[in-house]
A and B are shown apart, each in its own frame.
Chain A
Amino acid sequence: MVSIKNIKFGYRKHVTVLDEFSLDFSQSGIYGLLGKNGTGKSTLLYLMMGLLRPQKGEVTIDGISATLRRPEVLREMFLVPEEYDLPPISLSSYVKAIKPFYPRFSDELLGKCLANFDMEPNVNLGALSMGQKKKVYMSIALAANTRYLLMDEPTNGLDILSKSQFRKVVIEGMSEDKTIIISTHQVHDVELLLDHVCIIERNKVLLNEPLVEKDEPINLEELFIKTVENK
C-alpha cells in the first residue's frame, strides 16, 4: 500500500503544489490518476518514488518512508517518467545493468512486451525515436515485475496503433499482486484498463474509488468533468 499522509510540497519557497494532502493507494490493480494540468500528478509520483521529499508529512510504501529510499522498497518500485533520456548503449547491456536491482525481473515478459510493441530485442537505445524510447522503457518497466509501477502520461507521443499496443502490454504485464498507477489526462487511452480511478485537484482528492460498470460503460471523461465541476 502507498500511503500519502498530510504532506506539503512546493518547488519554490512560497508556491506550494500540495498542502495537507492525503491519499492512499490501498489495493492492487490499475489506478488512473486524473487531474487538471498543474494539479501535482507528476509531483505525487516523484514523491512516491522518494525522488522528491515532502516538506511536511510522510509518504510510505508498505509502511516504510519513501524518503529513506531503502533498497527493499526501491526494488519494488518502477517509474516511467513523461520524458527521459536513455544512454546510447544496447538494450541488452542496459537490461544487464539494471537487472540486479529487480529480483523478479522477467526476460520472458520483456520479450513479450517488445514483441507486442513490434520492437526488435537488440536495439541501441541511442538510436531510438521518442515513441520507440517510450516503448522500450515501458517494456523494461513491466518486465522489472515490481509491485508498484508508476507511469506518467504513458500514451503521450504514441500514435494510435502504439496506444493500442500499450494497452495490450499493460494487460499482459499486469498480475494480481501489482499496483499500476497511470497518471494521465488522455482518459480515452486508458479508461477500459482501469480498476480504480482517482481524481485530484489542488490539495484535494475529489474521488478515489473502484470502477464498476453497471448498465452502461463507464465514461471517464464525463465522470471527470462532473467530479471536477461539482467539487
Chain B
Amino acid sequence: MEFKNNKPIFLQIAEHICDGILQGTYTEGERLPSVREYAAEVEVNANTIVRSYEWLSQKGIIFNKRGMGYFASQGAKETVRESLREAFFQETLPEFVGQMQKLGITVEEVEQAINTQS
C-alpha cells in the first residue's frame, strides 16, 4: 500500500478499509483480518492497525466481538457511503470549485466535459 504524507497513516488505512467495504471486499457481517495479519499485509506497526480499527469502530463501521476480532457492521456500506458523500461536498468540491474559479472554467464547460466522458 502506498501512503501519502499529508494524512496520518492510521487514517489512510481506515479509509482504505472503507473503500474495501464500499467495493464489497468486506461484506457486512464479515470478519476483518486480525490486527497482526493486516499489519503484516500493509507493513506497518500493529498498534497503527489497532488505531485504524478503533477509529472505524467509533464510526460504527466495524465492531469488535470479544476474542473473535473485528467484523463489518450491518449497514456499514451505507455508513461509509454517507460519510464519503459528506466528504465529497465538504472537501473535494470546494477544492474543485476553487480550481474552476482560479482557471475561469464555467459550470457549462465542466458539464460538457463530464458528458463527453461518460
Contact = CB atoms under 8 A, between A and B. Distances in A.
B52 to A, nearest CB: 11
Interface of A: 30, 116, 164, 167-168, 171-172, 174, 192-195, 213-217, 219
Contact of B45 (A116, A164, A193): A193
A167 B48 CA distance: 14
Contacts of B10: 213
B9 A213 contact: yes
A203 B87 CA distance: 50
A167 B5 contact: no
A30 B45 contact: yes
B91 to A, nearest CB: 15
Contacts of B14: none
B39 A171 contact: yes
Contacts, number: 47
A217 B9 contact: yes
Interface in B20-43: 36, 39-41, 43
B7 A192 contact: no
Interface residues of B, number: 17
Given A168-B43, A192-B48, A216 B36 contact: no
A201 to B, nearest CB: 25
Contact of A213 (B8, B36, B40, B41): B8
A193 B44 CA distance: 5
B3 interface: yes
B92 interface: no
Nearest to B42: A192
Contacts of B45: 30, 171, 192-195
Given A171-B39, A172-B36, A216 B5 contact: yes
List the 8 closest A-B pairs by CB distance, nearest first.
Answer: A167-B43, A192-B44, A171-B40, A168-B40, A213-B8, A171-B39, A217-B9, A172-B40
Contacts of B44: 171, 192-193
Contacts of A214: 8
Contacts of A116: 40
B5 A217 contact: yes
Given A192-B48, A213-B10, A171 B5 contact: no
A28 B44 CA distance: 17
B46 interface: yes
B6 interface: yes
A217 B3 contact: yes
B64 to A, nearest CB: 17
A220 to B, nearest CB: 12
Nearest to B8: A213
Contacts of B7: 216-217
